[in-house]
Amino acid sequence: MSQHGTLRALGATALALATVITGISAGPAGANAAPHLRASYAYTPSGVTSSVSESGITYHGTPSCGGTWDTCSLYLSTTTTHTVGLGDLSNGGTVPWPASIAPGATATLYVMSRNFWQSQGHLSPAVPITVTRPGSVTPPPVPGGGLVTTPGYDYTMDAGTTKKNLLVPVQARADLKISDGTLALTAPSGTTFTPGQTTLQGRYTTGSNFESAPWLNAVGEVSADGRTFIGVTKGAKDTTIAENAYIAWQVSVDAAPATDDGTGTLGQRFVGSSNLGSFNVAGTSRVAITGVTPPTPIDGSFDPAGVGTPATVPAGTVQPVHFGATVTEKVTGMRDTKVVLTAPRGTAFPEGATTLTGEYASGGGWKRTDSLRVTGSLSADRTTFTGTMPDSGHGFELPTGYSVRWSVPVAAPDDATSGAGDLGFTVTTTVGEKPFRITGASRVTVEQSVRPITAKVDSVDDAARTAAVSGTATKEAEVRVGNTIIAKADTDGNWSGTVTNLVVGKQDVSFAQYLRGEEVDDTTIPVEVKQLELAPVTVTTRTVSPGEQNTITGTGEPGATFRVLKANGKEIAPGAHVVGIDGTWSFDHVVAAGSKRFRFVIEQSKYGQTVPSELFTVPADTK
């Protein structure tokens, strides 16, 4: 009498190829001969039901076959063909989730009757079932509802002019959609927002050039004093802002005609919510204003174009930066001299930097002189220096062709990122009765300090051949294994990720640190994946009934796939067979009439290895 067993699936990792060997020792040939029918048929199964769990898909029903068959089973597939079979069980059962259906995803599968006869399978019309895999892929937490502050831009404008299309960028740290947002802008010192601005055009970029983004437009108004703009965004909730993309809003400002030299900040705050939570991000862009310039005499004593000197300031250090001027006609005295400096973006003048040393040169080395010493003070944020130089006394002289320069210390914070900015300088003085104005900039490059990468193994999944790893690196650096980015360091320099595709045994894995697409350094650590042993195969069926379909049962490695082969290696009981999560397996087979025993081998596959069992012999029940 036949018994029907149910396979219980372990999970997605159980879908490895498996093998089973069978051999049959039969009686006389006439007793074993199967009746010859002309055709085999498979009909739509009845009573199909399905359910899901974290470990797999459970389906049941009654298959229906006609003509002749070796097996008539309930077949589950992602298509209506044999090509992507998930289960081939007597009346259904539980099979693992295929890798093609991710946690939280919904898919349509197909249940069919399968008539298998003489090495050929026939499928019936399909009964579709809809399944949703439990769980979800949870993205890593991102700050501020997905939006973060990013460095702004440096702009220049002249007094009495209008500067258009000023931007203060905001960066997305994950894919997001903005539900609502309120934009507040504050005009730089010495300016007001151009009247009549009621809609600020939204801008968007995933690269280096901003493009128009009408769905980001901010609608509002300029305050009565022209110093603020308040607006709200409309229409952005249906548009995805990509990870690492930038958004901004264009605004225009007017500088008053009598504006003096100086640098102000265009302030911005964007408050609202996205599908990732609430955000409140602020940022600034700097606007340097060139005031009314006194006319420079044609026979002037200084070239009005100042001489800037490039400099490099590594993060966490203080470095001198020089600026100066060229003497075009002999100077015998200077009075009412004023020096104004603005620090490069992302830097500041160190506390106590209130004295600038002055030097002069003529083709040879620089010579220090107290006659050019400048003393002054710093602004509260230490980004502006304002100082004066004593009127030159008797005997002061700078011949034609000489150069003068001053030195100011510039400090870059420990966490500064790489970039370049200008030390802006303005020197005003009077030579005789003639006023002079010297302006220029020294280009300053800030170099981000590099924290050596470290890595360690936190755990190893021998079955999946993966390793959880973590370590430290430079903040926001990419961590790569080969060409694969496995992690990105956070603002504290910590990172964690997973290494995949490991091999069994000991191996060295190299982790490289990348900044701005360039490899900075790397480190190598050993990782060991242990070979897992498969549980041995046992057979629990004691006897078989010749001439009938028998369900053969036993135990093995949970989650392993298996094949059944005859003693000569030919496969019987075709289809996807999986050892259940409880370690039990079964398959159905019609033992030929007259057989005295049934012989077979179970070949299990899991963890990248295929292991055959001993040759089992189950005696026939002849009673």
Contact 605, 580 (CB under 8 A): no
Among 441, 473, 490, which residue terminates a domain?
441
3-state secondary structure of 413: coil
Q: Give the residue, 283 or 363, on which the prediction is more confident.
A: 283
Q: Average of pLDDT values for 275-288?
A: 87
Query: Do 201 and 262 fall within a single domain?
Result: yes
Location of structure tokens 């003497």: 327
Q: What is the pLDDT of residue 357?
A: 92
pLDDT band per the 50, 70, 90 thresholds, residue 582: very high
Kindly state the helix (H) or strand (E) to which residue 30 belongs, with its residue range.
helix 29-32
Are the beta carbons of 214 and 166 closer than 8 angstroms? no
Residues 512-570 have pLDDT tens digits of 999 877 788 999 999 999 888 899 999 999 999 999 999 999 999 999 999 999 888 88
Q: Positive or negative CA dihedral for 376, 377, 379, 384?
A: positive
pLDDT band at 414 (very low <50, low <70, confident <90, very high): confident
SS3 199: strand
Contact 360, 403 (CB under 8 A): yes
Residues 170 and 266 in one domain: yes
Nearest alpha carbon to residue 93 among 543, 548, 575: 575
Give the DSSP H or E segment for 356: strand 355-361
Pairing of the two strands 246-249 and 170-172 = antiparallel
Mean pLDDT on 410-429: 87
Is it the case that residue 293 has pLDDT exceeding 70? Answer: no
Task: Supply the pLDDT for residue 161.
Answer: 87
Same domain, 382 and 476: no
CA distance 596 to 616: 14
Give a yes or no: residue 538 inside a domain: no
Domain assignment present for 619: no
Could you tell me which residue, 617 or 89, shows the higher pLDDT? 617
Contacts of 276 (CB under 8 A, 6+ apart): 142, 145, 146, 174, 176
| Residues 281 and 396 placed together within one structural domain of the fold | no
Q: What's the token pair of residue 258?
A: 């009598």
Strand ranges of the sheet holding 218-222, from the earlier edge strand across to the other edge? 154-158, 277-290, 262-274, 178-186, 228-233, 218-222, 199-200
Q: Do the Cβ atoms of 500 and 466 come closer than 8 Å?
A: yes
Which residues on adjacent β-strands are paired with residue 181?
A: 272
On whether both 166 and 266 belong to a single domain, the answer is: yes
Question: How much is the pLDDT for 136?
Answer: 59
pLDDT digits (tens, 9 = 90+) for 229-240: 988 887 677 888
List the structure tokens of 97: 């989730």
Q: Are residues 258 and 210 in the same domain?
A: yes
Cα 42 to Cα 29: distance, rounded to the nearest angstrom: 29
Question: Is residue 220 in some structural domain?
Answer: yes
User: Are 72 and 109 within one domain?
Assistant: yes
Domain edge (last residue) among 529, 551, 582: 529
- Encoded tokens for 483: 């060409």
* Residues 283 and 168 reside in one and the same domain: yes
* pLDDT per position as a tens digit, 306-339: 899 999 998 889 999 999 999 888 888 888 899 9
Residue 104 forms part of a structural domain = yes
- Please tell me whether residues 364 and 427 are part of one structural domain: yes
State yes or no: pLDDT of 28 exceeds 50.
Answer: no
Q: For residue 562, what are the contacts with CB-CB under 8 A and spacing of at least 6?
A: 18, 19, 20, 556, 577, 578, 579, 585, 602, 603, 604, 605
What are 158-175's pLDDT values in tens digits? 888 888 989 999 888 888
pLDDT (0 to 100) of residue 299? 42
* In the predicted structure, residue 397 carries a pLDDT above the cut 80: yes
The pLDDT-based confidence of 69 (bands split at 50, 70, 90) is low
Q: Are residues 493 and 436 in the same domain?
A: no
* Number of domains observed in the structure of the chain: 4
Whether 225 is covered by a domain: the verdict is yes
List the Cα angle 248/251/257 in 5-degree steps: 145
pLDDT on residue 84? 53
In a domain, residue 553? The reply is: no
DSSP string, 541-591: ---B-TTSEEEEEEE--TT-EEEEEETTS-EEEEEEEE--TTSEEEEEEEP
Distance of CA 400 to the CA centre of its chain: 59
pLDDT single digits (tens) 545-559? 999 999 999 999 999
Out of 89, 117, 132, a domain closes at 132
> What is the average pLDDT across 569-578?
86
Residues 120, 203, single domain; the answer is no
What Rg, from alpha-carbon coordinates, does the chain have?
A: 40
Query: Taking the model in full, what pTM does it have?
Result: 0.40
For residue 81, the model assigns a pLDDT of 64
pLDDT of 416: 79
Pseudo-torsion of CA 476, 409, 385, 326, nearest 10°? -120
* 415 and 358, same domain (yes or no): yes
Lowest mean pLDDT among 121-135, 376-390, 438-452: 121-135
Residue matched to tokens 């039901």: 49
Q: The domain that contains 284 carries what CATH number?
A: 2.60.40.740
Residue 297 pLDDT greater than 50, yes or no: no
Q: Is residue 21 part of a domain?
A: no
CA distances from 64 to 21, 59, 180 (A): 27, 16, 57
State percent of the chain over pLDDT 90: 33
Residue 129 pLDDT > 70, yes or no? yes
226 — pLDDT class (breaks 50, 70, 90): confident
Q: Is residue 601 in some structural domain? A: no
Higher pLDDT, 489 or 260: 489
pLDDT at 30: 35
CATH code (residue 104): 2.60.40
- How far is residue 412's CA from residue 405's CA, in Å, rounded to a whole number? 22
In terms of DSSP bridges, do strands 19-25 and 71-77 run parallel, antiparallel, or are they unpaired? Answer: unpaired
- The residue among 341 and 82 whose pLDDT is bigger is 341
Q: What is the largest CA-CA distance in the chain?
A: 134
How much is the pLDDT for 241? 87
Domain that holds residue 517: 464-529
